[in-house]
Chain A
Amino acid sequence: MRLLFITLMTLLIATGVGVGATWITTTRGTEFGTLTIGAWTARPKTGTSDVDPYSRATITRNGELPIGTGDGVAFSATSDDKKKPLDGRCDVVVSGVTPPARFWTLTLYDKKGHLVPNTLQRYGFTSQEIVRGADGSFEIHIASRSRSGNWLPTGGIERYALMLRLYDTPVGVATRTQRDAPMPAIATVGCP
């Protein structure tokens, strides 16, 4: 009787630990093969055949199709440069320059990776439609209420993620630092 109890107890712990660890790693992601520049994180290897097992599990679990290396690379950010989580009720400014690429797109998603509804039907910007300063740098204002210039509406949702995708770019598996890939700064400038 005691042996049965001990065995059951052990198996219960094993299931809890095992499934729990898998759930956490596929939901939050792991550090394997990540490239972090400022607030931005990319996993260039997910677009190749040597993707790590954790990323593979995450991709199939969420039903994503990772961007292939010959196509481009995707950077995502869920917090600003000061590690404050991106809040749709605050004013956030994304400014600066982007790494070399033929095109880039910046898109705002909710926590599940879906686009956020808004009356403007604006879900992001492409490198071609952005309004730039004389030196080629840009400023994108992310806020729930209308702003002048490049305004990206948040719909007032609490948490969101930004994704900057570079298409036809030298940035990839070999990229290490900000010097190879100058990413734009993300700053929360005001909260109601």
Chain B
Amino acid sequence: MIRLAFVVVVGVLLGCVVHLVSVLALPRIATQDAYSRLTPMTELNAVTQLPLADPGNTLMPFMDPAFATAICRYDLSDGPLKLKVPVSQAYTSVSFYTRNELAYYAINDRSAGKKVIELDLMTEAQHNELPEDEEVTSADRLIIDSPTATGLIVLKALAPEPGLMPQAQASLKAASCGVQSEPPAKAEKPRGKR
């Protein structure tokens, strides 16, 4: 009897360990996460329009049908990424996710404060390599540090009424994301920013 109780207690304790390990490991081992689902249908370092949310579209759960959505799946190993999103009439937002769907940054048209949301996305190492004077001359440039080299940028434009959906989609079609064509000129003495 005591032996049976021992088996149960040790089993439950080990079970707690299994539970904690599996919860922490899930983001890394999940094969049906959003990034994996989007990989076959999106181009790397380019904007891909997603089909509208409707009952037949089971790409991702809980998509907002009032929004036109586009994805830029990125890989920063070839250099920083430049993103340009013209804002639509109603509401436009840009959200950044790591490879494991951690939402590390999001901005909307009003907080961007311009007609075009313009951002530079780079890894922390690439940010540190930026020549200092360049950062001064382009003070209005918004630089985002990505915690991982790969990830997702989600561009969304709201259609406040169903009839305005073509307009929302058109504004996302004008969006662009891509590796910067000319790498930023290296300073003569490359040095860390900090």
Using CB atoms and an 8 Å cutoff, list the residues of chain A in contact with chain B: 6, 9-22, 25-26, 46-49, 51, 53-54, 56-57, 59-72, 74, 102-103, 105, 107, 109, 112-117, 121, 123-124, 126-129, 163, 165, 167-168
- Complex Cα distance, B20 from A25, in Å, reads 11
**Given A19-B22, A115-B53, A123-B65, residue A68 in contact with residue B8 (CB < 8 A):** no
A21 and B15 contacting across the interface, CB-CB below 8 Å: yes
**Given A10-B14, A70-B106, residue A60 in contact with residue B27 (CB < 8 A):** yes
- Complex Cα distance, B57 from A112, in Å, reads 12
A62 and B15 contacting across the interface, CB-CB below 8 Å: no
Contacts of B33 in A (CB 8 A): 59-61, 63
- Complex Cα distance, B19 from A25, in Å, reads 10
10 CB < 8 A contacts A-B? A9-B11, A14-B11, A18-B15, A22-B19, A56-B27, A63-B36, A65-B101, A71-B107, A113-B61, A115-B55
- Complex Cα distance, B60 from A66, in Å, reads 11
Interface size class of B (residues with CB under 8 A): 35 or more
**Given A63-B37, A103-B90, A126-B66, residue A68 in contact with residue B32 (CB < 8 A):** no
Contacts of B17 in A (CB 8 A): 14, 18
Partner of A116, one of B15, B37, B55: B55
A69 and B110 contacting across the interface, CB-CB below 8 Å: no
Contacts of A6 in B (CB 8 A): 3, 7
- Complex Cα distance, B23 from A159, in Å, reads 28
Most buried by A among B15, B34, B56, B90: B15
B106 and A117 contacting across the interface, CB-CB below 8 Å: no
Tell me the nearest residue of chain A to B112, going by C-beta: A70
Partner of A53, one of B3, B24, B57: B24
B23 and A70 contacting across the interface, CB-CB below 8 Å: no
Can you name 5 extra interface pairs (CB under 8 A) apart from A62-B61, A70-B93, A126-B160?
A13-B12, A47-B106, A65-B152, A71-B156, A123-B54
Partner of A18, one of B3, B10, B18, B104: B18
- Complex Cα distance, B159 from A126, in Å, reads 9
B130 in contact (CB, < 8 A): no
Partner of A63, one of B57, B61, B105: B61
Contacts of B66 in A (CB 8 A): 105, 107, 124, 126
Contacts of B13 in A (CB 8 A): 14
- Complex Cα distance, B14 from A13, in Å, reads 8
